[in-house]
């Protein structure tokens, strides 16, 4: 059991989780945006790689199914908070995304209370995470008055807008899945 849990994809997810406090420190402590950007890109690459390796090496596990989205959500939440504190994004961008996380968290509690596992990750959820993982490094690149910042700015804003819409849509899909599951369980007669 432990051997199955300590596979390469899960170790990559644990490495991503360990990078979150370092990422926050880089952004909020010494404001080393270059290193924070590198860590964010590394996180996105290992996010992609752990899924590919899990399928390729046939090392999919329940722990991996929990770790991967947890790492994604933690990076997204940490990035949003750090960007808000630094003034990189306004509160009205952060608030709906944080609210989405709280709503999804409530859905998970409701599902567990009714004996359900968390719903499968939807394509919209994967796409939202993918787009936001592009938006965040681009938003970091927009800091300052350099030519790189000027070029990155429209792309950063476009990816941020599209990622936010997809992220909220995927949250709505989780709510719909939760309601359907709970209603279906309520209609099923107990024998």
pLDDT for the residue 67: 86
pLDDT in tens, the chain (191 residues): 556 678 889 999 999 999 999 999 999 999 999 999 999 989 989 988 988 888 898 888 878 888 888 888 898 899 999 999 999 999 999 999 999 999 999 999 999 999 998 887 889 998 998 899 899 999 999 998 899 999 999 999 999 999 999 999 999 999 999 999 999 887 766 55
pLDDT for the residue 42: 92
The H or E element that residue 162 is part of is helix 147-187
For the entire predicted model, the pTM comes to: 0.83
pLDDT for the residue 65: 80
Distance in angstroms (rounded) separating the CA atoms of residues 191 and 188: 9
Distance in angstroms (rounded) separating the CA atoms of residues 143 and 132: 17
Provide the 3-class DSSP secondary structure of residue 153.
helix
pLDDT for the residue 3: 60
Burial bucket for residue 9 (CB in 10 Å: 0-12, 13-18, 19+): buried
Distance in angstroms (rounded) separating the CA atoms of residues 35 and 29: 12
pLDDT for the residue 1: 54
> 27 is written with which tokens?
């952004």
Q: Where are the alpha helices (DSSP H) in 29-113?
A: 33-56, 62-86, 91-113
pLDDT for the residue 190: 56
pLDDT for the residue 47: 87
């Amino acid at each position: 059991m432990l051997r199955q849990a300590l596979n390469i994809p899960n170790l990559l997810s644990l490495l991503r989780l360990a990078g979150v406090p370092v990422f926050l420190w880089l952004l909020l402590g010494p404001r080393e945006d270059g290193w924070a950007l590198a860590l964010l890109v590394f996180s996105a690459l290992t996010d992609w790689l752990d899924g590919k390796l899990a399928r390729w090496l046939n090392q999919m596990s329940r722990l991996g199914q929990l770790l991967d989205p947890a790492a994604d959500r933690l990076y997204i939440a940490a990035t949003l908070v750090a960007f808000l504190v630094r003034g990189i994004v306004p509160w009205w961008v952060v608030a709906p995304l944080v609210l989405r996380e709280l709503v999804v968290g409530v859905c998970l509690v409701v599902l567990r209370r009714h004996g359900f596992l968390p719903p499968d990750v939807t394509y919209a959820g994967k796409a939202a995470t993918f787009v936001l993982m592009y938006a965040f490094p681009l938003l970091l690149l927009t800091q300052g008055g350099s030519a790189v910042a000027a070029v990155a700015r429209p792309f950063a804003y476009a990816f941020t807008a599209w990622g936010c819409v997809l992220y909220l849509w995927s949250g709505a899909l989780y709510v719909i899945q939760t309601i359907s599951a709970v209603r279906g369980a309520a209609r099923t007669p107990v024998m």
